Amino acid sequence: MRYDEPVFGADPGYDGEPVLNPPETGPAPISSPAPPQAAEPTRYAGGIYIPAAPPTPRAAPTHLPVPVVTRPPRYRAGDYATAARALLPRGRAWSTDPDSVQGRVLAAIGEGFARSDAAATTLLAGTLPGAETAMLPEWEATLGLPDPALGDAPTIAQRLDQVRGRFVGIGGQSRGAIIAFAAALGFTIRITNFAPFRAGLSTVGNPVASDAWSFVWGVTVTATTGALPIAALMRELDAIKPAETTVILLT
């Protein structure tokens, strides 16, 4: 075998004889990632296939700003440091002087307890619907908000008003329930019902309405105290109105 034109690279061995080395090759090509597979259907009894539900996102996607609120703690760092000094053992080795080394260490520990206290207070306040906390996007995702009637850049006050309105509404489709629901959104309204024109009952000046107007009721906004626009109110009323009726806005 000749090594003049080796197919493999040759290196001199420890005894002078050439050692054949295989040619160097580059790394194996990286295959393109496979497209994500669709969720396989789940088989149930009786041979019925039901598509698997898509995974639930861990966080509610939102492009809107998230309010950042830090509430004060119930107890200050000094309160925790004082309580810790009161729990120290008695003896010459344990100083109760706040300016001693032990006192300064306990003061630093109290700062950590105060931060935890403030975080817990903020978290508890954020569990209430409509509270100005970082959980606002979670409430919106749960309630199907924010409403498109608010536009592309609703204010935080408008978003909070809608969340509160969805929770405060006690339900019902009576006149009083709808007026109370509008009040929770920051609107004072008056409801007008319509009836078809009937000879002997209607008078001059009444609208000549058909039978279809029996299923129409109008809303007049007399006062506004919240941040929501009237368009958002009408969308909310359209969602809770009796299914066979139509609600319109009156000037």
**What is the band of 170 on the pLDDT scale with cuts at 50, 70, 90?**
low
Mean pLDDT of 126-154: 79
Question: Could you tell me if 178 and 240 are in contact, meaning their C-beta atoms sit under 8 angstroms apart?
Answer: yes
**What is the band of 172 on the pLDDT scale with cuts at 50, 70, 90?**
confident
CB crowding 188-225: b at 16 or more within 10 Å, else e: ebebeebeeeeeeeeeeeeeeeeeebeeebbbebeeee
Rounded to a whole number of angstroms, the distance between the first and last alpha carbons of the chain is 104
Mean pLDDT of all residues belonging to the chain: 76
Domain limits of the chain?
77-126, 144-198+207-250
Residue holding tokens 């966080």? Answer: 59
Q: What confidence score (pLDDT) does residue 101 get?
A: 92
Q: What is the pTM of this model?
A: 0.50
Instruction: Flag whether pLDDT at 3 surpasses 50.
Output: no
Bridging pattern class, strands 9-12 and 18-21: antiparallel
